[in-house]
Amino acid sequence: MASFARRAMSIAQIPSRRILAGAPSIAQHRGLAGAADHHGPPKVNFWQEPMNPAQWKEEHFVLISLSGWGLLFYGGYKFFTGGKGSNNKGEKPLEEATQ
């Protein structure tokens, strides 16, 4: 009967001093799950340490990395296509204008 009461209390999360006094295993212990327990140096904004990506916050690292890859692909596209856009303004190409 006592084990049934312990299970029911743990499911319902109803505190009872009489049962908790006899069974300390029911009490919740957070241990090292607190937010103040940091592992390693604290992360900073990228503009505070621009030359040290290991110190950046994860969100900043992801945004800057994606921006860099986007610029790399866009620059490669412009380089390999000659950087020419569509010429729909009715202007003559350079070769025809000089003749």
User: Is the model's pLDDT at 74 over the cut of 90?
Assistant: yes
Q: Work out the widest C-alpha separation in the chain, in whole angstroms.
A: 104
Alpha-carbon span 16 to 37, nearest angstrom: 30
Burial of 17 (0-12, 13-18, 19+ CB in 10 A): exposed
Per the prediction, the chain carries an average pLDDT of: 76
Identify the CA nearest to 43 among candidates 62, 57, 61, 24: 57
Alpha-carbon span 62 to 74, nearest angstrom: 18
Residue 63 confidence (pLDDT): 95
Alpha-carbon span 56 to 48, nearest angstrom: 9
Q: What would the pLDDT profile of 26-52 be if each residue is shown by its tens digit?
A: 666 666 655 555 677 889 998 999 999
Domain residue ranges in the chain: 43-83
